[in-house]
């Protein structure tokens, strides 16, 4: 990963520090030594052109290598997705009271735990108790409660490669390949890098650069947001939720807290590894809070596959279904399924962190559509290059959302105060032609 870029304005000037490290492949220049300054300058020139290409949509095709909407689709889906539910705000890991659990005391090894899965009595209690026991073993496998409790913040930097996706219609035929020949990735995918900062369950920030396009996402504990070159800052509806990427082996503490409220639904073999399966469903109230006037979140479920041999999380899967309502038309449904294989666990300051993985995504659209049902597939592989804990100077200011989101929040807060104070709203005639935001966040125009 390249962290410095040669000064393009002055040959004797200091190198520029990159906000997001870039893979070396994106700096390579044909016919020259990759380590030479001229090669680095050439690579940086290309990278700057990629970074600026999103400003003019007409130049995206030539600078990036494929249509901008395809890059937007891939980054919008795999870039910064969130998990279904917020992480409980436990001050300590929720495993200390397990010794008082009679189910856990009776079934204290995996053989007895497997037999318990076949029992039909006290099903809900057993499923919950088994999930807590599995989480307890996971905490021990990742370093133990003592080591995890010492972590108050973390930093991770790594490399990603997003492969092309297939677009297939219900009529059959060959699919359309997307994401080819972009940013040095060629036919094998699009290269990029990411930096992830984390402090507590609700404070996190991600910066991801893929083929010259950068997306940012984060949470300040009150609102989760995302910012892309093709769309202004967007705040996620409902309570702030953690980044899915953090649960892919980067944050064992949040993973344990999240799955502590899950249920164990059985066993499954993943890549030759016998695993326990824990399931976590978003509650109806959370789904309603995330829905809007024209988009309804019907369900969102998360599955975690924990190895019976190592007790580590080896696979993460989630699926959510939403319905898009349209006037005078039947609704359109989108089902998104993400499946992440997690591996290459290595100890960092006594904590086991996953350093590699692969995520496959399937987007299935069905309902009243002009081109019938369609299924889109894409894939992301990632490697973690650096991990560090307890970052000095990582303050709350680092996780502040963009200014336009803060402006919208202050505007909404002021409007609520005016309503509570009993102030008389202006006459409807004075608002003709003006645009305002309704309670669902949608922009409406009067008159």
Predicted confidence (pLDDT) per residue in 297-306, tens digit: 999 999 999 9
* Residue 351 domain flag: yes
What token pair was written down for 160? 């990603």
Q: Enter the pTM of the model.
A: 0.77
pLDDT of residue 111: 54
CATH number of the domain where residue 155 is located = 2.50.20
Residues 360 and 295 reside in one and the same domain: yes
Residues 263 and 370 reside in one and the same domain: yes
pLDDT tens per residue across span 114-141: 555 555 445 677 888 899 999 999 999 9
* Residue 182 domain flag: yes
Range of the domain at 363: 72-89+141-399
Residues 218 and 232 reside in one and the same domain: yes
Residues 36 and 83 reside in one and the same domain: no
Gyration radius of the chain over CA positions: 24
- pLDDT greater at residue 95 or residue 53: 95
Residues 44 and 26 reside in one and the same domain: yes
Residues 434 and 314 reside in one and the same domain: no
* Residue 67 domain flag: no
* Residue 419 domain flag: yes
What token pair was written down for 103? 């189910």
pLDDT tens per residue across span 302-359: 999 999 999 999 999 999 999 998 887 888 999 999 999 999 999 999 999 999 999 9
Residue the block writes with tokens 């950068």: 214
* Residue 78 domain flag: yes
Residues 181 and 277 reside in one and the same domain: yes
Residues 440 and 368 reside in one and the same domain: no
Provide the 10 A C-beta neighbour count for residue 69: 13
* Residue 335 domain flag: yes
Residues 283 and 308 reside in one and the same domain: yes
Residues 333 and 441 reside in one and the same domain: no
Average pLDDT over residues 14-20: 74
Q: Both ends of the chain: CA-CA distance in Å?
A: 55
Average pLDDT over residues 52-68: 44
Q: Are 261 and 129 in contact (CB under 8 A)?
A: no
* Residue 106 domain flag: no
Residues 174 and 307 reside in one and the same domain: yes
Closest among 274, 328, 282, 332 to 305, alpha carbons compared: 274
* Residue 164 domain flag: yes
Our count of domains for the chain comes to: 3
Average pLDDT, the chain: 77
pLDDT tens per residue across span 362-407: 999 888 666 667 888 999 999 999 999 999 989 888 898 888 775 4
Residues 285 and 192 reside in one and the same domain: yes
Angle, CA 206 vertex, CA 442 and CA 63 arms, to 5°: 85
In angstroms, the Cα distances linking 443 to 60, 183, 295, 420 are 29, 36, 14, 22
pLDDT tens per residue across span 208-228: 998 878 899 999 999 999 988
């Amino acid at each position: 990963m390249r962290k410095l870029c040669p000064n393009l304005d002055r040959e004797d000037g200091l190198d520029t520090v990159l906000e997001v490290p870039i893979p070396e492949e994106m700096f390579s220049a044909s016919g020259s030594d990759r380590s030479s300054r001229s090669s680095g300058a050439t690579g940086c020139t290309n990278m700057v052109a990629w970074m600026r290409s999103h400003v003019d949509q007409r130049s995206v095709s030539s600078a990036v290598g494929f249509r901008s909407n395809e890059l937007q689709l891939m980054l919008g889906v795999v870039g910064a997705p969130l998990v279904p539910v917020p992480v409980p705000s436990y001050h300590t890991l929720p495993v200390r009271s397990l010794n008082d659990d009679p189910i856990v005391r009776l079934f204290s090894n995996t053989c007895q735990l497997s037999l318990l899965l076949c029992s039909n009595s006290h099903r809900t209690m057993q499923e919950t108790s088994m999930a807590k026991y599995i989480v307890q073993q996971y905490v021990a496998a990742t370093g133990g409660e003592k080591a995890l409790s010492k972590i108050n913040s973390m930093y991770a930097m790594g490399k990603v490669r997003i492969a092309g996706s297939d677009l297939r219609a219900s009529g059959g035929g060959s699919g359309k390949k997307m994401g080819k020949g972009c940013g040095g990735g060629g036919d094998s995918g699009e290269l990029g890098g990411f930096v992830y900062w984390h402090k507590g369950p609700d404070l996190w920030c991600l910066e991801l650069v893929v083929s010259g396009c950068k997306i940012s996402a984060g949470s300040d504990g009150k609102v989760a947001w995302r910012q892309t070159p093709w769309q202004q800052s967007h705040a996620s509806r409902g309570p702030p939720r953690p980044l899915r990427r953090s649960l892919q082996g980067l944050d064992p503490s949040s993973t344990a807290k999240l799955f502590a409220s899950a249920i164990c639904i059985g066993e499954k073999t993943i890549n030759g590894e016998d695993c326990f399966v824990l399931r976590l469903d978003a509650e109806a109230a959370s789904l309603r809070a995330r829905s809007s006037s024209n988009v309804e979140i019907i369900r969102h479920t998360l599955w975690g596959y924990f190895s019976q041999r190592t007790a580590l999380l080896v696979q993460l899967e989630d699926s959510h279904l939403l319905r898009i309502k349209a006037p005078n038309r039947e609704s359109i449904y989108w089902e998104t399924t993400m499946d992440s294989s997690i591996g290459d666990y290595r100890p960092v300051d006594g904590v086991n962190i996953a350093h590699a993985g692969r995520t496959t995504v399937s987007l299935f659209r069905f309902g009243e559509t002009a081109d019938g049902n369609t299924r889109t597939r894409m894939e992301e592989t990632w490697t973690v290059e650096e991990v560090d804990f307890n970052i000095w100077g990582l303050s709350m200011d680092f996780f502040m959302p963009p200014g336009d989101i803060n402006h919208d929040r202050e505007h909404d807060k002021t409007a609520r105060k005016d309503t509570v104070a009993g102030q008389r709203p202006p006459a409807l005639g004075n608002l003709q032609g003006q645009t305002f935001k309704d309670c669902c966040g949608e922009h409406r125009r009067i008159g």
